[in-house]
């Protein structure tokens, strides 16, 4: 077992490195975790982070089974997913912009019920599952690890390791941005922070939708 593990270890490490780069690159998932952790609570941020990480596990599993490659190749599915993802990001952006206009928090942070935590989990899960870039990212990362002659256990080990990295990395973002100093900063500048987050979500959503229709027009 040691010899096969050493044979595929460089590919696994390269794949884990690619996954780690994604965890430190600001995207819709990280922005949502940061905004929720600052403006709501640590528990809400962690719940959202767990939803994002669960989505990562599902995308990774689908990539191993080849489903993501099929989805990326089938134009109507890819088109619909991109539009849905863009609209969802725009909705999140308007939520932050409304909060900025009223100079309020995104939601009350005190006394969160378990049902509310489930809502944040589902928000994170939805953000990740409607992120079309996740499909291409996982196809690329699985391609790094899974050589044509690689046994199944290589992909299983990679998915398991990436799942651990996803939970650890996303929860770390939630913990970091729910510390006293960061929350105090948000409390003082919440209108500016909410405006920036709203603009970023809106720009990401609009950019995704526009690029989807442009690419669709070119292929038609």
User: In angstroms, how far is CA 73 from the centroid of its own chain?
Assistant: 22
**pLDDT per residue over 69-82, tens digit each?**
666 666 676 677 77
Residue 216 neighbours by CB under 8 Å, 6+ apart: 75, 79
Question: Which pLDDT score, from 0 to 100, does residue 175 have?
Answer: 96
pLDDT of residue 130: 85
Task: Note the pLDDT of residue 187.
Answer: 79
- pLDDT of 8-33, one tens digit each? 788 888 888 888 888 887 788 888 99
Which residue, among 171, 135, 124, has the nearest Cα to 29 in the 3D structure?
A: 124
Nearest to 133 by CA among 34, 191, 63: 63
The string over 80-109, giving b where at least 16 C-beta atoms fall within 10 Å of a residue's C-beta and e elsewhere, is: ebbbbbbebbbebbebbbebbeeeebbbeb
Distances (CA, A) of 125 to 10, 18, 42, 218: 31, 21, 17, 31
Alpha-carbon span 136 to 211, nearest angstrom: 15
Please count the residues of the chain: 220
pLDDT digit string (tens) for 147-203? 667 777 888 888 999 999 999 999 999 999 999 898 888 878 888 888 888 898 888
Provide CB contacts within 8 A for 49, sequence distance 6+: 33, 124, 167, 170, 171, 173, 174
Q: Are 177 and 37 contacting, i.e. CB atoms less than 8 angstroms apart?
A: yes
pLDDT for 111: 44
Q: At what angle do helices 42-65 and 132-145 cross, to 10 degrees?
A: 60
Top pLDDT among 4 and 163 is at: 163
Asked if 94 and 198 count as a contact pair (C-beta separation under 8 A), the reply is yes
pLDDT the model gives residue 135: 74
Q: How far lies 114's CA from each of 43, 133, 179, in Å?
A: 10, 31, 22
CA distances from 152 to 65, 142, 148, 162, 164 (A): 10, 12, 10, 16, 19
**Per-chain mean pLDDT for the chain:** 81
Amino acid 58: pLDDT:
92
């Amino acid at each position: 077992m040691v010899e096969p593990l050493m044979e595929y270890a460089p590919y696994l490490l390269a794949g884990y490195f690619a996954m780690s780069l994604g965890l430190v690159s600001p995207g819709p998932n990280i922005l949502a975790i940061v905004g929720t952790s600052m403006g709501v609570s640590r528990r809400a941020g962690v719940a959202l982070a767990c939803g994002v990480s669960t989505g990562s596990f599902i995308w990774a599993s689908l990539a191993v089974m080849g489903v993501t490659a099929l989805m990326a190749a089938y134009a109507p599915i890819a088109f619909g997913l991109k539009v849905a993802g863009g609209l969802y990001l725009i909705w999140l952006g308007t939520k932050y912009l409304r909060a900025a206009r009223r100079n309020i928090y995104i939601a009350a942070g005190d006394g969160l019920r378990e049902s509310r935590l489930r809502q944040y989990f589902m928000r994170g899960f939805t953000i990740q599952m409607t992120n079309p870039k996740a499909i291409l990212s996982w196809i690329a990362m699985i391609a790094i690890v899974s050589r044509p002659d690689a046994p199944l256990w290589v992909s299983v080990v990679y998915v398991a390791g990436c799942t651990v990295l996803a939970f650890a990395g996303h929860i770390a973002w939630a913990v970091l941005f729910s510390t006293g100093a960061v929350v105090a900063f948000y409390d003082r500048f919440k209108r500016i922070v909410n405006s920036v987050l709203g603009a970023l979500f809106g720009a990401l959503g609009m950019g995704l939708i526009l690029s989807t229709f442009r690419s669709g027009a070119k292929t038609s």
